[in-house]
Structure 1
Amino acid sequence: MPDDLPHIFERFYRADKSRNRSTGGSGVGLAVAKAIIDAHGGAISAESGYGKGSPVIIAVTDKKCRDAISDANRKTGGWNEGFDPFYGAPVILIVLADKSVPTYVYDGSLVLGNLMNAAESLGVASIWIHRAKEKFESEFGKEILKSLGISGDYEGIGHCALGYAAEPAKDAPPRKENYIYRIK
Structure 2
Amino acid sequence: MNDIIKSLEERRSVRAYEDKPVPRELIEQVIEAGLWAPSGMGRQSPIIVAVTDRALRDRLSAANAAVMGGDGDPFYGAPVVLVVLAPRDVPTYVYDGSLVMSNLMNAAHTLGLASCWIHRAKEVFDQPEFKQLLADLGVEGDYEGIGNCILGWPAQDPEPKPRRERRVFWAE
Give the TM interval when normalised to the shorter protein: 0.7 to 0.9
Q: CA deviation at 1:50?
A: 2.1
The aligned counterpart of 1:3 is none
Q: Which stretch of structure 1 is more off in the superposition, 50-59 or 104-113?
A: 50-59
1:169 aligns with 2:158: yes
d(CA) in 1 for partners of 2:37 and 2:63?
30
Instruction: Answer yes or no: is 1:118 the counterpart of 2:99.
Output: no
- For residues 70-89 of structure 1, the aligned pairs below 5 Å read 70-79=61-70, 81=71, 83-89=72-78
Determine the C-alpha separation between the residues in 1 that align with 2:129 and 2:162: 36
- Is the counterpart of residue 40 in structure 1 residue 16 in structure 2? no
RMSD between aligned alpha carbons?
1.7
For the Cα contact (< 8 Å) 1:29–1:90, is it kept in 2?
no
Tell me how far apart the structure 1 counterparts of residues 127 and 65 of structure 2 sit (CA, whole Å).
14
Return the offset for 1:165.
1.5
DSSP 3-state at the match of 2:47: strand
Count of residue pairs brought into register by the alignment: 153
Question: Percent identical across equivalent pairs?
Answer: 52
How far off its partner does 1:182 sit?
2.8
How far 1:37 moved relative to its partner? 1.4
Structure 1 portions without partners, runs of 5+: 1-25
Q: Which has the higher contact order (CA 8 A, sep 6+)?
A: 2
Q: Please say if residues 21 and 79 of structure 2, whose CA atoms lie closer than 8 Å, have aligned partners that are also in contact.
A: no
Q: In 2, distance between residues paired with 1:182 and 1:100?
A: 35
Q: Normalized against structure 2, the TM-score is what?
A: 0.82
> How far apart are residue 171 of structure 1 and its match?
1.9
| Corresponding residue number in structure 2 for 1:10 | none
The aligned amino acid for 2:49 is I
**In structure 2, distance between residues paired with 1:27 and 1:75:** 26
Give the corresponding residue for 2:22. Answer: 28
Q: Which residue of 2 aligns with 1:55?
A: 46
Distance 2:61 2:155 in 1: 19
Give TM-score scaled by structure 1 length: 0.77
- Larger radius of gyration between Structure 1 and Structure 2: 1
CA offset at residue 112 of structure 1?
0.2
1:70-119 per-position Cα deviation (integer Å, ceiling 9, x unaligned): 0000000112x3x1000000000000001111111110000000000100
d(CA) in 2 for partners of 1:170, 1:34: 28
Contact 2:61 2:74 in 1 (8 A): yes
Runs of 4+ in structure 1 deviating by more than 6 angstroms, as ranges, are: none
Aligned to 1:157: 146
The one-letter code sitting in structure 2 at the alignment partner of 1:49 is G
